[in-house]
Structure 1
Amino acid sequence: MGSTSVNRRDVMKRATAAGLFAVPAIGALTSCASSGGGDEKAEKGKKSKKNPLAVKEDAPLQVYIFKGGYEDKYARFVTDMYEKRYPESKPDQKSTEKISTLVRPRLVKGDPPDLVNNSGDDNMDIGKLVKNKQVADLTELLDAPSWDDPSVTVRDTLIPGMEDMGRFGTDGCYQLNISATVYGNWYSAKMLEETLEAEYPRTWDEMLALCKKAKAKGIHGWAYPGGHPRYMLFSMYAMFAQAGGRKAIEAMDNLEPNAWTSDAVKSVFEAWEEVVAKKYVLGGFDSQQAHVEMQTAWTKGKAVFVPDGSWVENEAKDTTPKGFRMAVGATPSLDKGDAMPFGTLYSPPGEPFVVPAKAKNVQGGMEWMRMFYSKESTRNFFKEVSAIPAVKGAIDGMDLPPGVESSQRAIKAAGKNIVIAFFREWYPELFEQDFNGAMRTFMTGESSVKETMKAMQKGADRVAKNPDIQKIKKS
């Protein structure tokens, strides 16, 4: 198909339970869209009010769940719901950290599972799956009546922007997420207030001063996972937007020639270069479990901040001491000339699911997702993993743990100033390989700001010039 992009419509607005944020439309490439119903092997039942997706009630269902920070108990709850509704289906749930290793060969063979939680380091390239028509169009699911209220569609129960995240340059929707992820600077409110007697830094000068104060007490300002250096971008991305505005991050998504060498990007890297040079960063976590090692050091009080996502509250629960009061802060402003204000937040939908197009039970895969988006399931999801579900008002009135409560406050404070790194979804290899390598040498002080920006731009240019990679363009 090559490199193709066509603007589809004006910029859309996306909201989450407590705030709004802008999401761009993406190009309509109708030639890439699949029919959305799998193929002739897919089993269908009789459509009815009780069975709006025409699930074949005795058709087996197989679900693959990524067993990462969210574990898999939340998914088992839904699988049990499915079995209760369709007892003859005998649903089979499998959990693994190796999604691509186990699932991709089955996609190629034409015998895939019926639903895949395509997450983790070993996830499948969703852009390639869409281009090769290996995943089903989920528009039928979005148009279906919601589990709790037949008068409301599934689409209308979800936080806006979910459908756009799953388009990948097509008219259909090929991926749906289950949570709202908040990225930023995670910290212990107890440490900040009691140990350091400080407030959360709103400017970079205040951040440097806090790191200096922490160092005097034998505490690093930051910890980062050397095995996964790209985690640093979880804290840096909103800073790019603050410094250069939405145009700066749109340039990144659009693979523009100077996206990673702009003055805005330079100012952010220069700010972090000072943190590295003054040895405020605790490193040395170089294994594949580097993120867990980093988080453990952090919960033990060895560092003030970690670059992370809102899954950390659940993932680090076993090492988090009582009274830690986990919280997330937006990235501090660089100076008064920033294009976007303090509070700008990187918060996209998270934890993606796909239904393979050649699955034998495509309808069952979509039905599982319809069940997940029910009030009963999303509230259980929250109880199990302390993550914000991607369903409007799902956790209203519930008691919230510190991290989730802090995330909700950050979302509300950000309002319209929430940004999404679409390039992570569109070009995962770029993020996970090129940018990972560039961030590794930067965080160890082996490469300068100029060299780091050049390396990241080189990676973006490589993707832009590759005719085999589908290009998606923001409008």
Structure 2
Amino acid sequence: MTPPGEITRRQLLRRIGTAAFVAGPGAGLLSACATAGTGGDPAPTTSITASADSKNPFGVDAKKPLEVVIFSGGYGDAYARDLHEELYKKEFPGVSVKHNATQQIGTQLRPRFVGGDAPDVLNNSGPESMDLAALAAEQHLADLGVLFDAPSIDDPAKKVRDTVTPAVLDNALINGKELVLNYTVSHRALWYNAKLFESKGWKVPVTWTEFVELGEKAKQENIVLFAYPGQKGPYYQLWNVLYTAAKIGGNQIIIDIDNLVDNAWTAEPMKQAVTAWVDIQARFGDKAYFGLDHTQTQIKHLQNKVLFYPVGSWIENEMAKDKPKDFQYAIAPIPDVTAADKMPYGAIQVGVGENFVVGAKGKNPQGGLEYLRIMLSKEGARGFTEKTKNITVVNGAAAGVDLPAGLRSAADAQDKAGQNVITEARFEGWYKELFDYGTEQINVVMAGRITPEKFCANMQKKADAVKKDDAVAKQTRSQ
């Protein structure tokens, strides 16, 4: 066994997800890339020191091209192409910015990172998002501490870190270093059509009993009470189960899972959460949704064939072109599962998301840092909200922006929740192998092919394996 802290290059490549390239048509690619950097030690990370120039704190070469890769999902990519990249060009007239929008982040970017050809800015999101902990272990991610300590574009007397919500800084950390920028504020709960509820005279359920009763009413209308996408989106239901467990047992449930605490997945609140949702699927679900992707399922939701859909607040912008006039997105908290839930009704998950990183070994990491600084300006953040109808982490940037009904609903729900906020699970970014396994297993248990107890046991076994794997850098959180 490799001693703790000593990770071979082969192990790191496996963690990044490139092991699949070893065999088959990609073998030559991986072999060439693996020899390019020599033996087992990672190449040194580019060191960037802030300068005294508040207008160019990273010493960007104004003539050096910049490459930006954006995940073209719920937010699209126009915010980058038409806003942030244009602001960068305005700051450095004549500079060339290469824009690449894709939904295949892993497929396109894994071989590039391994080969030392990383983009300068990467929006690492979607079902093919890369393992950031593994990239960090290979020193592929630029240290963003220099960004957070740089002068804000709007007020050079303030550091960037003083202009964003504190959760940004907590979630930036991998192995104690600030390596990731989470750019958006998201609300994950159950989404529904407020106009349909109004027309039917239905009330949003507060208790699980009311939830089941509403399921019976919906069934009579040929409406599925609840559905999630079994293809390219089962992690929506994994999130939903995790946050239901936190609703029952408190945020410590998620903190323990993130910290790889022994028996965290087999804790009673986790079993209760999985059991509750498996029962809903069995009584009111439709197995056809296991074969649909997120877009297809969301279309069914817009057609009032699905009552509740577990997703985040990006949904409204993602489906803006398809949303009919008689559909009004609104957010509903998870109903009380038991009479003894630790978190009261109204608790919802509020977190930061949509992560961006700068390639430490890219051709222009200085430009990448400046690009993120522009994103964190009020002009950059407000423009993002106007284009995507989603709020960023920049304090006060959305003031006065006309928000759509669904986002207003989410903001109101956040206000009502107060301090009763369900924490965000972080193992998705810390231990992607565990998260990916969870997205597979959630389909299996929801389809009734294994019991909730077996699901929890399988997840615990996988978590234990990750915990024992010396190739995986371990992360911890206290809250």
Alignment TM-score, normalising by the size of structure 2: 0.87
Equivalent residue runs for 1:302-321 within 5 Å? 302-321=305-324
Give the whole-Å Cα distance in 1 for the aligned partners of 2:143 and 2:43.
Answer: 7
Q: Establish whether residue 245 from structure 1 lines up as the match of residue 245 from structure 2.
A: no
Q: Which of these residues, 381, 401, 404, is aligned with residue 404 of structure 2?
A: 401
Measured against aligned partners, the alpha-carbon deviations of 1:273-310 in whole angstroms (never above 9, x if no partner) come to 321221x12342456x6011110000011010011111
Q: Establish whether residue 388 from structure 1 lines up as the match of residue 374 from structure 2.
A: no
Measured against aligned partners, the alpha-carbon deviations of 1:354-384 in whole angstroms (never above 9, x if no partner) come to 1111122111101111111111221221121
Instruction: Tell me what 1:208 maps to.
Output: 212
- List structure 1 segments (4+ residues) > 6 angstroms apart after TM superposition: 34-37
Listed as ranges, the gaps of 5+ residues in structure 2 are 6-41
Tell me by how many angstroms 1:36 deviates: 10
Q: Which of these residues, 294, 297, 301, is aligned with residue 297 of structure 2?
A: 294
Instruction: Tell me what 1:8 maps to.
Output: none
Equivalent residue runs for 1:18-97 within 5 Å? 38=46, 48-76=53-81, 77-97=83-103
Give the whole-Å Cα distance in 1 for the aligned partners of 2:50 and 2:185.
Answer: 33
Measured against aligned partners, the alpha-carbon deviations of 1:79-127 in whole angstroms (never above 9, x if no partner) come to 0111111023211111111122222222222222111111111111000
Instruction: Tell me what 2:440 maps to.
Output: 437
Q: Do the aligned partners of 1:229 and 1:437 also contact (CA within 8 Å) in 2? A: yes
Structure 1 residue matching 2:69: 3-state secondary structure: strand
Q: Establish whether residue 455 from structure 1 lines up as the match of residue 458 from structure 2.
A: yes
Give the whole-Å Cα distance in 1 for the aligned partners of 2:441 and 2:372.
Answer: 37
Instruction: Tell me what 2:326 maps to.
Output: 323
Aligned residues: 438
Instruction: Tell me what 1:226 maps to.
Output: 230
Gap change, CA 1:239 and 1:3, over 3 Å in 2: farther
Instruction: Tell me what 1:101 maps to.
Output: 107
Instruction: Tell me what 1:162 maps to.
Output: 168
Give the whole-Å Cα distance in 2 for the aligned partners of 1:410 and 1:3.
Answer: 44
Q: Establish whether residue 421 from structure 1 lines up as the match of residue 425 from structure 2.
A: yes
Structure 1 residue matching 2:211: 3-state secondary structure: helix
Measured against aligned partners, the alpha-carbon deviations of 1:371-425 in whole angstroms (never above 9, x if no partner) come to 1111122122112111111111211222110111111112222222221101112
Gap change, CA 1:318 and 1:36, over 3 Å in 2: farther
Instruction: Give, as a single letter, the amino acid of the residue that structure 1 aligns with 2:446.
Output: M
Listed as ranges, the gaps of 5+ residues in structure 1 are 5-33
Tell me by how many angstroms 1:49 deviates: 2.9
Q: Which has the higher contact order (CA 8 A, sep 6+)?
A: 1
Q: Which of these residues, 180, 184, 188, is aligned with residue 189 of structure 2?
A: 184
Tell me by how many angstroms 1:2 deviates: 6.6
Instruction: Give, as a single letter, the amino acid of the residue that structure 2 aligns with 1:230.
Output: Y
Alignment TM-score, normalising by the size of structure 1: 0.88
Tell me by how many angstroms 1:50 deviates: 2.0
Give the whole-Å Cα distance in 2 for the aligned partners of 1:114 and 1:99.
Answer: 14
Tell me by how many angstroms 1:45 deviates: 11
State the identity as a percent: 37
Give the whole-Å Cα distance in 1 for the aligned partners of 2:262 and 2:58.
Answer: 45
Q: Which moved more, 1:454-463 or 1:290-299?
A: 454-463
Tell me by how many angstroms 1:216 deviates: 1.1
Tell me by how many angstroms 1:169 deviates: 2.3
Give the whole-Å Cα distance in 2 for the aligned partners of 1:45 and 1:151.
Answer: 15
Give the whole-Å Cα distance in 2 for the aligned partners of 1:231 and 1:316.
Answer: 16
Instruction: Tell me what 2:127 maps to.
Output: 121
Give the whole-Å Cα distance in 2 for the aligned partners of 1:298 and 1:89.
Answer: 44
Q: Do the aligned partners of 1:187 and 1:305 also contact (CA within 8 Å) in 2? A: yes
Instruction: Tell me what 1:377 maps to.
Output: 380
Q: Which of these residues, 124, 144, 152, is aligned with residue 150 of structure 2?
A: 144
Gap change, CA 1:394 and 1:3, over 3 Å in 2: farther
Gap change, CA 1:440 and 1:460, over 3 Å in 2: same
Give the whole-Å Cα distance in 2 for the aligned partners of 1:165 and 1:2.
Answer: 28
Give the whole-Å Cα distance in 2 for the aligned partners of 1:420 and 1:268.
Answer: 16
Tell me by how many angstroms 1:3 deviates: 5.7
Q: RMSD of aligned C-alpha atoms?
A: 2.1
Q: Do the aligned partners of 2:290 and 2:443 also contact (CA within 8 Å) in 1? A: no
Q: Do the aligned partners of 1:430 and 1:459 also contact (CA within 8 Å) in 2? A: yes
